[in-house]
Chains A and B, each alone.
Chain A
Amino acid sequence: MLSLPTIHCQACIARVEAALDAHPGIKSARVNLTLKRALIDAEPKVKAAELVTVLEKEGFEAHELDPGALNDTATRNASKDLLMRLAVAGFASMNVMLLSVAVWSGAADATRDLFHWISAAIALPAISFSAQPFFRNAWSALRAGRLSMDVPISLAIVLALVTSLWETWLSGHHAYFDAALTLTFFLLAGRWLDARARSAARSAAEELTALEVPRALRMAADGPVEVPVADLRIDDHVLIRPGARAPVDGLIIDGQSEIDRAMLTGETLPEVRGVGDPISAGEVNLTGPLTLQATAVGQETSLHRMAALVAVAESGRSRYTSLADRAAKLYAPGVHILSALAFLGWLIWSGDMRVSLNIAAAVLIITCPCALGLAVPAVTTAASGRLFGKGLLIKNATALERLAEADTVVFDKTGTLTTGKPKIINWGQLTNAQKSVAFALAEGSAHPLSRAIAGMARTENQAPADVTEIVEKPGFGTQALLDNQAVRLGRPDWIGVTPPDDSICAALDMGDGTPVLLTFTDAPRQGAAEAIAGLRAQGVDVILLSGDRAPAVASFAAGLEIEDWHAAMLPDAKARFVGKLRDEGRYVLMVGDGLNDTAALATAHVSISPAQALDAARAASDMVLLGQDLEPIADALAVARQATRRIRENFQIATLYNIVAVPLAVAGLATPLIAALAMSTSSITVSLNALRVRGRG
């Protein structure tokens, strides 16, 4: 299975499929444009990596997906199941509604009875099929001794059916078959919207995980063999190529290199490691190939142990009750008591069982949380759709509501507010000769500083100098020959200069005895300033926490005009800081990407992490930022606040309808026509109000 993020048109589909079909060993390939994926059925000898190169030659970005991490067939089947029940309920309710219209407009006697019987014949099987999800949920809630929204729903549907059957049997005037069916239909629509929004978010989140295919190179007697990470055992020798992430904890037994620990500690500068030094899973090898002897694999690695800690911290947050649950808690007992009172009152007053039961059914139908069932899913679907369009993925159902409450934003620095990729500052002060030599040397290395130099040179269309015999000395730098003169680019202490302060530096030795220093800075991520300004405009405090050294953080915070910053924060210090804010009664939004942030992400009231973050950090956060730009965070807060306001409005609208209609029902004046009108109008008003979230930029 491949992910193809850039395909967008019919020509892309045709070219991708043609290219894949032409590749030997492939039985069939099908592109799914909606999911931007290609499903490939191939012989086992075909490697995903070769297909990726095949597609890249065609000009498409492709990534391998791990099918094990995707279980969207299950969620898709669930939403398909709901859609089927929705279709049946829709069909039945329309037919019964037609028959009911005839009854309301004056059909009498035998005709009315016939219509009621036909309605019953349609409604009974239709409801027993389509209302099953409600019955099942209500039953499990009752067995657990709780009242959920599904209990009054099921009770209303069942009671309406029973009284209507009874009325029909006695050829009475009022039957609620249409009400029971439209109720089922509207509520199923709400459920389906909910399921669809959730499965879209889940499948996108799973895709991010599936993109990191766990493969490793195990050293066998005859060279490295590619194996799944799950197959690695302790004491296996694992080869890590430059640019790869360590799959296991281990000790270096061969090679020397620089290690990027930014994901774990937040430090921008790589560390030099040699034989005998430990490496933790998740660290990135930058310059030279390393061979590790595994000391911990799979669930035992430090990465997994930290992720497990996060899961514990997270369970505290799941205690948050959403607005809908709070409403249901107030609502469900109220409805039951009201209809029971109406039933008893009428029974005592008139002594007529049939009339009393009729009234009780009418009360239940009218108060039924039809609009409430739609109020929340309609708004969250609209809001998460809008945020998804802006590149923000909502993973957690209650995340929107919690985001709306946030009053303090805590940012991590490296990898979150910054790109995590250094940028050269004093490039302009170099001579052309120096530039071209630096470019030529930088091209021979995968070190982040080298890449920054090469990237800068490429934007200026600088031609690389004609150097020969480029050698990369892992942990030190690159050297080469230029006109039989040795030139070097690398660590300042290797070249033999001392940097004036502790900013990030590299040195370039042109072989003329006067080495030059190249200074770098960690560039802020695109949209960082706008996001911070946008958040401030909404009355939110912005705080910067970083594991980096104080001077680097200070200058960075000054650049973004953040007064409240804290440097050299260890992971648990970050979590404690966030915990302290929480205890002060603040609602904290934490934005972070590294493993050092995961505990803080899980402690915060609500959290966001960028898509480039480690899997553990993404798992700990409620929302994932898909693009490079930070700006959507400010929009997200605005949309979340607007959405919560709409949900509250919807509850008010639904309550208003109930206040008008309930006295009618209790007084025995509610005919099936009034019930149908009240239900439909309140549902439609609520849905229209929800759609306002989507509109207006």
Chain B
Amino acid sequence: MNVLAYLIPISLILGGLGLVGFLYTLKSRQYDDPEGDSRRILSDKWDDHPKE
């Protein structure tokens, strides 16, 4: 059962990483224009400099 000492923190950290990642995308306003972003990826115009 000692393996729990590693496994529980690991699972918490992995889940926490996902949470932090989601909060980051939310804060950096990546859900403001989902439809437009899914279209912009099709054009190579913004490949080097993503549109502000």
- Residue A30 at the chain B interface, CB threshold 8 Å: yes
A31 touches B36 (CB 8 A): yes
Measured between beta carbons, the chain B residues less than 8 angstroms from A211 are none
Contacting residue for B15 out of A76, A91, A114, CB 8 A? A91
Interfacial residues of chain B within 4-52, with CB under 8 A of chain A in the complex: 4, 8, 11-12, 15-16, 18-19, 22-23, 26, 31-36, 39-40, 42-43, 45, 51-52
Question: At the interface, yes or no: B1 with Cβ under 8 Å from chain A?
Answer: yes
Q: Could you tell me which residues of chain A, from 1 to 56, have a CB within 8 Å of some CB in chain B?
A: 9-11, 13-14, 17, 28, 30-35
Among A28, A33, A76, point to the contact of B36 (Cβ < 8 A): A33
**Which residues of the partner chain B approach A9 to less than 8 Å between Cβ atoms?**
39
A95 near B: Cβ within 8 Å?
Answer: yes
Query: Is the pair B32, A28 in contact by a Cβ cutoff of 8 Å?
Result: no
A35-B33 CB under 8 A given contacts A9-B39, A111-B1: yes
Q: Which of A32, A83, A87, A122 contacts B32 (CB 8 A)?
A: A32
State which of A13, A83, A94 has its C-beta within 8 Å of the C-beta of B39. A13
Output the least CB separation between B31 and chain A (Å): 8
- By a CB distance below 8 angstroms, the chain A residues around B31 are 80
Is B51's CB under 8 angstroms from A10's CB?
no
A72 → chain B closest CB, angstroms: 11
Please determine whether B40 and A10 come into contact, CB atoms closer than 8 angstroms: yes
Q: In the complex the two chains form, what is the Cα distance from A670 to B49 in whole Å?
A: 58
Are A95 and B39 within 8 A (Cβ)? no
Q: How many residues of B sit at the interface, in one of the four size bands?
A: 20 to 34
Please state if A91 and B26 are interface contacts (CB–CB under 8 Å).
no
Interface residues of A in 72-101 (CB under 8 A from B): 76, 80, 83-84, 87-88, 91, 94-95, 98-99
B34, B39, B45 pick with most chain A CB within 10 angstroms? B39
Q: Shortest distance in angstroms between B42's beta carbon and chain A's nearest beta carbon?
A: 5
Question: Hey, which chain A residues are within 8 Å of B18, CB to CB?
Answer: 91
B22: chain A residues within 8 A (beta carbon): 87
From residue A322, how far is it (CB to closest CB) to chain B in Å?
Answer: 29
CA distance A697 to B32 in the complex (A): 29
Label chain B's interface by main secondary structure: helix
A118 at the A/B interface (Cβ < 8 Å)?
yes
Given A9-B39, A10-B42, A118-B8, CB of A34 within 8 Å of CB of B33: yes
Docked CA distance A34–B18 (Å): 26
Taking the closest CB of chain B, its distance from the CB of A683, in whole angstroms, is 22
Question: Which of chain A's residues has its CB closest to B32's CB?
Answer: A32
Given A30-B52, A118-B8, CB of A13 within 8 Å of CB of B26: no
Within 8 Å by CB of B11, from A28, A95, A114, lies A95
- Is A84 a contact of B23 with CB atoms below 8 Å? yes
Complex Cα gap A98–B40 (Å): 39
Which residues of B are found within 8 Å of A10, using beta-carbon distances? 39-40, 42-43
Shortest B43–chain A CB gap in Å is 5
Known: A30-B51, A33-B33, A111-B1. A91 touches B39 (CB 8 A): no
Query: Which residue numbers of B lie inside 8 Å of A, CB to CB?
Result: 1, 4, 8, 11-12, 15-16, 18-19, 22-23, 26, 31-36, 39-40, 42-43, 45, 51-52
Binding site for B on A (CB under 8 A): 9-11, 13-14, 17, 28, 30-35, 76, 80, 83-84, 87-88, 91, 94-95, 98-99, 111, 114, 118, 122
Besides the known contacts A83-B26, A91-B15, 5 further A-B residue pairs in the complex with CB atoms under 8 A apart:
A34-B33, A84-B23, A87-B23, A98-B11, A99-B8
The 9 closest A-B pairs by CB, nearest first: A33-B36, A10-B39, A91-B19, A34-B35, A32-B33, A33-B35, A10-B42, A34-B33, A10-B43
Q: List 29 A-B contacts (CB under 8 A).
A: A9-B39, A10-B40, A10-B43, A11-B43, A13-B40, A14-B43, A14-B45, A17-B51, A28-B52, A30-B51, A30-B52, A32-B33, A33-B33, A33-B35, A33-B36, A34-B35, A80-B26, A83-B26, A84-B23, A87-B22, A88-B19, A91-B18, A95-B11, A95-B12, A99-B8, A111-B1, A114-B4, A118-B8, A122-B12
